[in-house]
Chain A
Amino acid sequence: MKTIKYLFPPLLLLAVLSCRKDVNIKPKGNYESQLFIEGILYPGEQPRIYLSLSQPFFNKEVTPQEMFARGAEVRLSDGAREELLHPDSTYDKFRCRWVPYYLGQTPAEYGKTYELRVAFLGKTYTATTTISQAKVDIEEVEYTSEFFDVYGGHDGVILRFRDAPGQNNFYRFQMDRFLDTSRHHAHILEVIQNDCTNGEKFWITDLGRTIFRDENNDGQPMEMYAEVSFEYRRGDTAYIYLQSLDETSAAFYEDIDNQLQSILNPFVEPVFLKSTIEGTLGVFGSVVRSDTVLFVYPQDNP
């Protein structure tokens, strides 16, 4: 699990000459928390809508439970019927914490248009999505011990597939697998003490951070190089999917990906998250998954 970070050489020399001090920063005006909505519908699955409140930038980090927007009225309608979603949560055994959301009972269906309506603190926010993107299946999965992307050098997997012709497509990697605490995270998350598993394996979903567009590649064979989040040993198994996102969701996660590159780096232009929901922050969209492919790691991680 290696990630190469390129430091620009003059910065290194500057670091020798420079000195640092903490400064207090006061952006203009008082910051008021905003509702953040993240709702991605998967055909065949119960809808989950994550609602949280944004925190002032310079506050300490809080848990998902503390950020959760309690008391919201969340409704999802497909035109024919409307459903009121109820608060629910899952336990994240990797981080040992509860992650709350609003859950619907009726699975989302391919081909339908959904309207999300969220009423919170006297305001109502609405957004719609249609699940119409093509399901594209994986033709081949290959292991790679080294490849390079904008984040540097990694090991991971290569997905090969043929783009669905005649439309703009946006793809993302997904890997599901069982883990135990001996498999560490690729990055700084390894410092997390996940001692809530009682030695049992737990299930994780690892979503790729890069959105692949089919620009200039309509209907052509495509390759997706994906970095994986966790360590592995030879013989470890995982279930791999190719996600097809709608354009709205793709744009939002591209912003997320771009901001990830710019965060904490003073030499990159900052990335503003553009909301797809009028009046507040967030995204409402959909993902169509490919059929699953069982993947067996051919070697230990380098």
Chain B
Amino acid sequence: MRVSLLLFILLPWAGFTQNHTISGTVTDATTGEALIGANVFVTSTKTGTTTNSYGFYSLTIPSADSLGVAFTYVGYTAQFKKVYLDQNIELSVELAPGVGLLDEVVVSGVRSDENVARPQMGVVDIPTEKIKELPAILGEVDVLKVVQLLPGVQSGNEGTTGFFVRGGNADQNLVQLDEAIVYNPNHLFGLFSTFNTRAINNVRLIKGGFPAQYGGRLSSILDISMKEGNNKRLGVEGGIGLVTSQLTAEGPIKKEKASFIVSGRRTYFDWMIKPFLTSRIRTSYSFYDLNAKVNWQIGPKDRLFLSAFNGKDDATYIEDGIEYNVRFGNTTGTLRWNHIFGQKLFLNTSFIINEYDQNISALQDNSFSEVLSGINDVNGKLEFQYYPNPDHIILFGAHYLDHTFRSSGRTEAQSGSDPSPGIDANTIPVKYFDEFALYVNDEMKLSERLSANLGLRLPGFFSDEASYYRIEPRASLKVALGPASSVKAAYTMMNQFLHLVPSSTASVPTEIWVPSTEKTRPQLSTQYSVGYFQNFRDNEYESSLEVYYKDMRNQVLFREGNQLIESLDIDSLLTYGKGWSYGAELFLRKNRGKLTGWISYTLSWTNQRFEELNFGNTFPFRYDRRHNLSVVGTYELGKRWSLSATFVFSSGNVYTVPVGRVGVFYGGSLFEGNYFVYEERNNVRMNPYHRLDLSASHKREWKLLGKPLTSEWVFSVYNTYSRLNPYFVFFEVEPATGEPKAKQVSLLPIIPSITYNFKF
């Protein structure tokens, strides 16, 4: 038994002397951008692989006089290359955008059925080009809004970009931009995320069956890659919308060797609102995002990337004697070095910094209060990808993360007209702690029908207060039922050493991240999932049905009656419990033709149990929504016009409503009055949420000073039939009768918008 196990482990490393390796990159022919997840398929041996996050692939196969290798990627013309494999060769390919067909014979053998073929499940890739086709809100198509339309993903409240995956809280999603953690991916109110679509290359959501290289969060990984910049020619594109505008410039620094991209977006809500303000009221709101990236192909085996992101929100409201300020922002920086050892071993080394700051202050009746928090991370990653043969892709690496958290709050009287000096940064309590992880993962093909993805991750956490070391086994298994169908199963264990102290609202930035302590133990989840995957009509249609069960331990909520005002002793405000979620997710997508899009439906249940809440009884999670339906479609009406629509329906959120009232009578004492009788937490469901968004775009290509120019008008309507969807419900007592009335607050009615985009 031991000998077999040893052989099983060493076999992929042993190599085969009669084999040779084809390796290289797959890139966009017009921009030089890496194509992530492009298929590379050897038609004669029916073996293949996909490109990694940097467009790199490696295939080791038996020598042959003549081999046919097909390169395919959705939305690009496929390429077919004939090679003589009598030695290791490098073969880099550029695919041209647009739908083109290969030779008929080759087409039948080409695999673009990655969803069926790969052993991993619970993964959805969304190329940016697909995102841009969808309806916009206030002229912006948002990445996170698109993520909300995927199966197993629930949106937060009306108008927010927060998302909840398979019953997990918002903090259980690891959102990273070029590997840097983005702690708050929302702008104020959550109408927009911090991600500027024009600066993004690819979006990948993983919600189950996590490979071992991913960790640190319980529920999902949202991995966003920035564009690298066009290394062939200089280009500028931009968009002018109702409340925001953006401009992106990219081009070669040294043709086909080094390139850059700079992208900026700013809202001008503050300028627009100025004429409507009186001298008594002054209010202002603005945000901006800046993305920049350079990359340099040092040599055939080395490449450097440097990317940076900075986004800030600034809101002010000033009225007689009242002044409110909200400021928050993210900054990230990533330096990466790719090196290829030989042709089978790919190394990515990353050094990442990220920073998140928020400052909220209020001055009213000469009383000044302020809450301030901040996060600084410095981390390093070392990841090897080894391609010993077509049956194994082995990843192993290490990740070290150094956190510095600061938080403070205060309230004090302000005498006279002197403004309060604010919190002295030197006096803010600071918490230092570290995370690390070692991991190994092998994606293996065990037979023609059986594939597996086995991984082991060893994360750890240490601070002055507590240390935790964990073992996380990961396993996914795929059984092919035929050329276009498979059954998959996955088991995942995840730990999370950070907690987002949950605010009652999803988008206002009052949440504060806190590390694990002796009392606030790391969150732990165990997830089981099974799925059936079937494609039709040569992968024009893809479908899947996944069912899952997820168990979550060491969950935190506020104790009754608490809200986060100051963060001096957060542990004392929290209570601890567990949660569990189960459900089924149906996904049907049409990939080609004039009409493309998808339908996703999720049926799920999520419950929690906390000893100190709801009399210790089970209660539904706040975002427990039984039904979630998204229908997304884009129709090409001709060369110039395209139409798109999005319809969403979901059961309402649950919330807590008292069932009775009792009177406490003490002749004028401050606590005399009626008190509420609660029987059950989250006992009432809000009205269902549904919305239809429509969009039409007119694209025109013409020449300006002899250079090609593309212009586009986008007309969109958000919430077309102006459904008043619930944001939250509160109670108001009728003064005359003392009768409580429930009031539903809705945020966004119908919002038409128009945007002008250009590219040259």
Contacts and interface: CB of A to CB of B under 8 A. Distances in A.
A102 interface: no
A21 B732 CA distance: 12
Nearest to B504: A267
Given A18-B746, A59-B739, A64-B665, A9 B670 contact: no
Contacts of B747: 14, 17-18
B45 interface: no
Contact of A13 (B285, B665, B677): B285
A269 interface: yes
A229 B670 contact: yes
B327 to A, nearest CB: 11
A227 B315 CA distance: 34
Contacts of B509: 10
Nearest to A264: B731
Interface centre among A22, A27, A206 (most CB of B within 10 A): A27
B737 A54 contact: no
Contact of B558 (A17, A260, A265, A269): A269
B590 to A, nearest CB: 36
Interface string B497-538: 000000111001110000000000000000000000000000
Contacts of B737: 60-61
Interface string B201-225: 0000000000000000000000000
Interface stretch (A31-39, A234-242, A289-297): A31-39
Contacts of A191: 735
Interface string A42-69: 0000000010101111111100100100
A8 B687 CA distance: 26
A27 B686 CA distance: 11
A22 B733 CA distance: 12
Interface in B677-734: 677-681, 683-684, 687, 724, 726-734
Contact of B563 (A58, A253, A269): A269
B667 A204 contact: yes
A58 B743 contact: no
Given A8-B508, A9-B325, A281 B662 contact: yes
Given A20-B744, A23-B742, A268-B563, A9 B671 contact: no
B659 A56 contact: yes
Contact of B656 (A13, A22, A270): A270
B423 to A, nearest CB: 16
A95 interface: yes
Contact of B661 (A26, A57, A146): A57
A284 interface: no
B11 interface: no
A269 B559 contact: yes
B560 A270 contact: yes
B677 A273 contact: yes
Contacts of A52: 662-663
Interface string A75-105: 0000000000000000010110001000000
Interface stretch (B130-138, B230-238, B361-369, B399-407): B361-369
A53 B748 CA distance: 42
B732 A270 contact: no
A208 B669 CA distance: 7
Contacts of B411: 148
Nearest to A28: B683
Contact of A6 (B364, B679, B735): B364
A186 interface: yes
Interface in B740-760: 740-749
B676 interface: yes
A13 B658 contact: no
B220 to A, nearest CB: 26
A67 B658 CA distance: 18
Nearest to B735: A191
Nearest to B680: A28
B560 A258 contact: yes
B413 A146 contact: yes
B666 interface: yes
Contacts of B13: none
B733 A264 contact: yes
Contact of B675 (A4, A99, A256): A256
Contact of A269 (B508, B562, B669, B677): B562
Nearest to A282: B662
Contact of B562 (A20, A21, A268): A268
Given A18-B747, A263-B676, A58 B365 contact: no
B563 A10 contact: no
A20 B743 CA distance: 6
B668 A189 contact: yes
Given A9-B326, A18-B747, A31 B684 contact: no
B652 to A, nearest CB: 11
A94 B749 CA distance: 47
A207 B668 CA distance: 9
Contact of A206 (B614, B669, B731): B669
A20 B746 CA distance: 6
Q: Closest 6 A-B residue pairs measured CB to CB?
A: A61-B738, A9-B324, A258-B561, A209-B671, A60-B737, A54-B660
Given A8-B510, A18-B745, A263-B675, 10 more contacts: A2-B365, A7-B324, A13-B317, A54-B662, A55-B660, A208-B670, A269-B557, A269-B559, A272-B560, A273-B676
